[in-house]
Structure 1
């Protein structure tokens, strides 16, 4: 599967929009565009909106691949889009090894899936209200609400 246009719009909003100038994220990592990080992102860097979308689409391929490989059950588009948002935020490795993936693949009920999803609410060892709210919106999307 591939992320939908609606999923991309959701992700851009969750990541705080498109940033054309490099900035340090909450974890202190140089970031640009829509949550794009890497060796090439440095202080003072500036890009166009078109470049930001190009970088995002390149980054999304990696997350589409990890969700497609990790999840063994058939997903609806809105479920896939919500999982991409989570994977993008927590990283491919953390996503693929997560309790959430295990529960979805085991056919767990929605209460257990939601509980595993909401475990991903910490940054720097602390519960971050911004992540609590993001997880709530992702779960809502996953449920098709």
Structure 2
């Protein structure tokens, strides 16, 4: 199975940042570390930098598996890594049902790349940080 390359991991780390104390993200979800969410994240949770990295690697494995399951075509390492970065942020179910994946699986790669730019809202509002993130994910996706 493909793995997220260093460019993809760096992109995720850059845009997620590392918060050692649980907080609510722009969508209102309790989050800690490098964007880790789930039932193990509670309001008063504090983690170590080492634990943040461990959570990141565990999350990456889960998202890599989900992205691989949604693909019906072969993709480059950069394309795969960009898709994992997107899934890391929007969730694997949203990615699997997305127009982006449908177009990619239909062999319409450029149209799929353009779909990254659709995912720029949180709680119904366009966020400048998401716009920058999607542009970076799209650029990675299109880089040979």
TM-score, normalization by structure 1:
0.92
The alpha carbon displacement at 1:6 in A equals 2.8
Compared CA separation, residues 39 and 67, structure 1 to 2 (3 A): same
The alpha carbon displacement at 1:18 in A equals 1.5
Q: Which runs of 5+ in 2 are unaligned?
A: none
The alpha carbon displacement at 1:128 in A equals 1.9
Residue-by-residue CA offset, 1:101-138 (whole Å, 9 max, x unaligned): 0101111141x223322111111122222211111111
Q: For this pair of structures, how many residues does the alignment match? A: 143
Q: Which runs of 5+ in 1 are unaligned?
A: none
Structure-2 residue corresponding to 1:3 = 4
Structure-2 residue corresponding to 1:47 = 47
Compared CA separation, residues 38 and 107, structure 1 to 2 (3 A): same
TM-score, normalization by structure 2:
0.92
Structure-2 residue corresponding to 1:97 = 97
The higher-RCO structure (CA 8 Å, 6+ apart) is: 2
Residue-by-residue CA offset, 1:55-97 (whole Å, 9 max, x unaligned): 1111111110111111111111111111111011110100001
Q: CA RMSD in A?
A: 1.4
